[in-house]
DNA sequence: AAGCCTCCTGAACGACCATTTATATTGGCC
DNA sequence: GGCCAATATAAATGGTCGTTCAGGAGGCTT
């Protein structure tokens, strides 16, 4: 119940008992907004809807967020930041072999888009409602992720372990990276845990497909 | 200037001079609505916006459409129907060879999504705003297109000309078809005529990638 | 010329929107 | 106990929304 105001240097985090029910209101608002944006879409969800879902009145939103727009940005940015971090980590842990790097990237990316498909869906579907200032850093993060893939492909081609398709004799690694990412991103639009494949199997399938596309034989 | 009211059996269509300026208002409304939905999104485009863009007042919409919702459905359904028709035609004209069928399908599908990327973008992005009754036939058409791909893959596997990736020893052709379609559909999100590749080159690249994914060597 | 049908306008309807404001309530800290 | 900051509320602000409807204008048919 305390945890936020007292500043004695020794009770920073109780750590053992993570009492959880009375989530700080800003968390409750985030969660309620996320659920409703996912279900009905940003422009038709009203501030009243969100605040009613956490038992508050509309005006209270503005004690925690400057606007409805900032609230959406907050939700999308945290998802996007976490995704970028996981992708970097996966590639860094692959030991420098382009095949292993691509496989690790696709695996993490697909598993995440299966497991957190609602988060991914909101981030991809609602981004267009952000005003241009706030959309910029989201797009930066997406470009960064695309460039991770492009870099993997470049290394693979340089070392001769990838042989991706050419158009008129030349590679267009950016287009190929976009194709791979589109494919992997949009599993969040149709994958469901009730389907034929588990998340693990999805990751394996998409890894195989990616390796085929870039012209590397599947590993092992 | 006439063309719609007189019903003498012999002036059905003047045919030679296709005088074009005063488009029938229903066409003008469709066009204006499409342009604005594409640019700003269905829920924030008002009936007033649409009608002002064709020089009419808001009330006149309801002489031609039952509601704003029906107008959106009309726009999406015509695009979707044309897409389905073109896909069927492309596959039928490929002569029964699964490789040629897949190549023809991807070529037509990608070229269309490059050339008419705005139409595709609207159809994919705004479909969620339709009420459930009207969304049903759009989804039916999408399933039909997916099933075209699944059927091609099945034939290719039966005849031994495709060897798509397996998970735990078994094929999941539906998942692979979805992956291929996601990849091809979403060129409409980033392709632009100012980019590095022409529509032709995009079609070629995506055909190559699809054939690699299903385990067939690129043709000639 | 009269009637009819199609399509338009302009105003009105009732509802709902994001945000701001003035005011009240709370709980920790001196 | 009194103060202060944080956070809540209810009401108001100034719009905008999709849709309906009474009335009028123009042309086609008879």
Domains detected in chain B: 1-65 (1.10.10.60), 68-213 (1.10.357.10)
Percentage of chain B with pLDDT > 70?
Answer: 88
pLDDT digits (tens, 9 = 90+) for B114-157: 999 999 999 999 999 998 889 999 999 999 999 999 999 999 99
Contacts of A111 in chain B (CB under 8 A): none
**Strand C within 7 Å of which CB atoms in B 34-73?**
51, 55-60, 63-64
Answer whether any strand D atom is within 7 A of the Cβ of B219: no
pLDDT at B69 > cutoff 50: yes
B190's CB contacts (< 8 A; 6+ apart) are A178
* Rounded-to-integer distance, Cα B34 and Cα B178, Å: 27
As a whole number of angstroms, the distance between CA A148 and CA A71 comes to 29
Which neighbouring-strand residues pair with A170? A167
Confidence category of residue A1, pLDDT binned at 50, 70, 90: very low
Q: Which tokens in the block code for residue A45?
A: 């969800």
Task: Provide the chain A residues 168-207 that lie in CB contact (below 8 A) with chain B.
Answer: 168, 172, 174-176, 178-180, 182-183, 185-187, 189-190, 196-197, 201-202, 204-206
Tell me the residue length of chain B. Answer: 220
Task: Judge whether B152 and B82 are in contact, CB under 8 Å.
Answer: no
Task: Give me B46's structure tokens.
Answer: 């008002």
Judged by a CB distance cut-off of 8 A, whether residue A46 touches chain B is: no
**A209 and B176 in contact by Cβ < 8 A?**
yes
Q: List, in order, residues 6 or more apart from B11 with CB less than 8 Å away.
A: B2
A204 vs B167, B178, B206: nearest CB: B167
Q: How far is the CA of B84 from the C1' of C29 (A)?
A: 71
The residues facing B167 across adjacent strands are B170
Mean predicted confidence (pLDDT) in B177-204:
96
Residue B55 burial (CB count, 10 A): 10
Q: Say if residue A154's pLDDT is above 50.
A: yes
Of A44, A176, A218, the CB nearest to B43: A44
What are the pLDDT digits (tens) for A120-140? 999 999 999 998 889 999 999
Residue A92 banded pLDDT, cuts 50, 70, 90: very high
pLDDT band at B22 (very low <50, low <70, confident <90, very high): low
Phi/psi for B170 (5° steps) reads -115, 150
All residues of chain B having their beta carbon less than 8 Å from the beta carbon of residue A41 are: 43, 128-129
Encoded tokens for A62:
């503005």
Are A114 and A175 within 8 A, CB to CB? Answer: no
Asked if residue A144 lies in contact with residue A83, where contact means CB atoms within 8 angstroms, the answer is no
**Is residue B45's beta carbon less than 7 angstroms from any atom in nucleic acid strand D?**
yes
Q: B171-196 b/e with 16+ CB inside 10 Å = b? A: bbbbbbbbbbbbbbbbbbbebeeeee
Are A172 and B44 a contacting pair at CB < 8 A? no
Q: Which of A57-61, B8-12, B19-23 has the highest mean pLDDT?
A: A57-61
CA atom of A61 to C1′ atom of C3, Å: 62
- Please report the pLDDT score of residue A118 as a whole number: 96
Place of tokens 């957190």: A116
Q: d(Cα A53, Cα A70) in Å, to the nearest integer?
A: 19
Tokens coding B42: 């269905």
Identify the band that residue B8 occupies on the pLDDT scale cut at 50, 70 and 90.
very low
Task: For chain B, say whether A135 makes contact (Cβ under 8 Å).
Answer: no
CB contact under 8 A, A172 and B205: yes
Kindly write down the DSSP assignment for every residue of chain B, as one continuous string.
--SSS---TT-S---S----SS--HHHHHHHHHHHHHHHH-GGGS-HHHHHHHTT--GGGGGGT-S-HHHHHHHHHHHHHHHHHHHHHHHHHTTTT-HHHHHHHHHHHHHHHHHHTHHHHHHHHHHGGGS-HHHHHHHHHHHHHHHHHHHHHHHHHHHTTS-----BTTB--HHHHHHHHHHHHHTHHHH--TTSSS-HHHHHHHHHHHHHHHTT-PPP-
CB–CB contact B209 A213 (8 Å):
yes
Q: Over 50: is that where the pLDDT of B20 sits?
A: no
Cα of B60 to nearest chain A Cα, Å: 25
Q: B131-139 — which CB contacts under 8 Å span 24+ positions? A: B131/B69, B134/B69, B134/B70, B134/B73, B137/B77, B138/B73, B138/B76, B138/B77, B138/B80
What residues contact A165, with CB distance under 8 A and at least 6 apart? A176, A213, A215, B205, B208, B209, B212, B218
Token couple for A74: 């907050």
Q: A219 or A10: which carries more pLDDT confidence?
A: A219
* pLDDT recorded at residue A25: 80
| Closest to A134 measured CA to CA, from A82, A74, A81, A78 | A74
User: B218 touching A, CB under 8 A?
Assistant: yes
Q: Which of residues 68-97 of A touch B (CB under 8 A)?
A: none
């Amino acid at each position: 119940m305390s945890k936020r105001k007292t500043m004695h240097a020794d009770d920073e985090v109780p750590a053992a008992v993570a009492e959880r029910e009375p989530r700080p209101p800003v968390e409750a608002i985030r969660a309620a907004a996320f659920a409703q944006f996912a279900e009905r879409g940003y422009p038709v969800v009203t501030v009243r809807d969100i605040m009613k879902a956490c038992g508050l009145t509309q005006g209270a939103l503005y004690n925690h967020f400057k606007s409805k727009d900032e609230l959406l940005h907050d939700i999308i940015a945290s998802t996007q930041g976490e995704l970028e971090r996981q992708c970097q980590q996966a590639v860094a842990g692959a030991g420098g072999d382009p095949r292993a790097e691509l496989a690790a990237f696709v695996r993490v990316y697909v598993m995440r888009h299966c497991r957190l498909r609602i988060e991914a869906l909101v981030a991809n579907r609602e981004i267009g409602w952000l005003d241009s200032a706030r959309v910029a850093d989201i797009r930066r993060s997406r470009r960064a992720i695309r460039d991770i893939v492009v870099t993997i492909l470049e290394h693979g081609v340089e070392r001769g372990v990838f042989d991706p398709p050419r158009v008129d004799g030349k590679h267009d690694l950016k287009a190929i990276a976009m194709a791979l990412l589109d494919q992997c991103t949009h599993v969040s639009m149709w994958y469901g845990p009730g389907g034929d494949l588990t998340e693990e199997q999805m990751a394996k399938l998409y890894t195989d497909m990616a390796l085929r596309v870039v012209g590397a034989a599947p590993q092992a």
